[in-house]
Homo-oligomer: A and B are copies of this chain.
C-alpha cells in the first residue's frame, strides 16, 4: 500500500509555508503532525479512485493532500485536553504535548485552512481546471463541516458516558470518520471526471470500508497492545464510550467487518481498470493489527 506514500508526503510538505522567524513554531507544529507517520489511507483512496476512473495520480494529488490535511487537523484538535485529552498519537507525543495547547489549536486550524489553499492552488487548477477544483472545495467543506465530521464529533462528545444503540454509533461514525473517507473516494472521481455510476460505486466502497474501519478500530482498542497500537490501549473503555465491540462482542464485530469488506470489494466490479489495489486495501484494513 505504501508505493506512493513518499510522493504524498513530499507533496504535503510542498504546501506548507516557509518557516520564518516569527511564525516558524506554527509551521513546525503543522509539519510535526502532518509527518507523524499516518497511514495515508485517505490520500491513497483519492489517487486510486482517480486512476481507476481514467484520471491521473498527479492531478489527484492536491485533493489527496487536502483531505489528509483535514484528517490531520481533526486528530490534533481531537487530542486536545478539552476533547479526548490524549498524550500519545501513533506512538509519539501529541501535538499539544510538544507545542502547547494554544499552538496546537492554531496548527489544527492552519491545516484545515491549508486544505482549501491546496484545493484552490495554481497547481490544482492547472492539473484539474477551475470547475473540478471548486467541486473539490465543496466536497471537502461539506464532509468536514457540521453535517459531516464535526457533526460526528459533537455526537461523540454528547454520547460519552451514555448507553447508546448500534444505530446511534453508525450514525455517529458515518459522520465522524465516514464523511472524510467517502469524500476521498469522491475527490478521486472528481479529478478523473468519473461517470455517475463510477462515483456511486466509489461511494459505496467508501461507505463500507469506512464503517469496517471504525469497527476494527474498536476491536483493536481491546485486543491490541499499546506498543502495536501507538496509543494507550483501553482508552475507549476508560472514557466510558459505548463501542461496537462492547455492544456486539468481538465475534459479531469480526463477522460484520468481514461482510462490509466483501460489500466494498463487490462495489469495485463496475470498474474496467485494475482495482486490485483497492481490493487488497480493503482486506488490509480488515486484517491490520494497529
List residues of chain A with CB under 8 Å of any chain B CB.
16-17, 22-23, 25-27, 30, 73, 77, 80-83, 100-103, 105-106, 108-110, 112-114, 116-117, 119-121, 125, 130-131, 133-134, 137-138, 140-142, 144-147, 150-151, 153-155, 157-158, 171-172
Contact = CB atoms under 8 A, between A and B. Distances in A.
Given A77-B105, A134-B134, A146 B112 contact: no
Contacts of A138: 117, 120-121
7 contacts: A16-B146, A22-B154, A103-B157, A108-B109, A110-B146, A113-B144, A130-B131
Nearest to A121: B138
Interface class of chain A by DSSP: helix
B120 A141 contact: yes
B26 A106 contact: no
8 nearest A-B pairs in the assembled complex, by CB-CB distance: A82-B101, A116-B141, A26-B154, A113-B145, A117-B141, A23-B151, A120-B138, A120-B137
Contact of A145 (B77, B108, B110, B119): B110
B146 A17 contact: yes
A141 B155 contact: no
B141 A134 contact: no
Contacts of A154: 22-23, 25-26, 103, 106
A113 B146 contact: yes
A28 to B, nearest CB: 10
A110 B150 contact: yes
A141 B113 contact: yes
A102 B110 CA distance: 18
A108 B154 CA distance: 13
A146 B116 contact: no
A80 B81 CA distance: 12
Contacts of A131: 130
A145 B112 CA distance: 9
Contacts of A141: 113-114, 116-117, 120
A108 to B, nearest CB: 8
Contacts of A119: 137
Contacts of A130: 130-131, 134
Contacts of A102: 82-83, 157
A192 B155 CA distance: 41
A105 B81 CA distance: 11
A157 B131 CA distance: 39
A220 B36 CA distance: 44
Given A30-B146, A133-B134, A171 B116 contact: no
Contacts of A157: 102-103, 106
A103 B130 CA distance: 35
Contacts of A125: 134
A22 B80 CA distance: 22
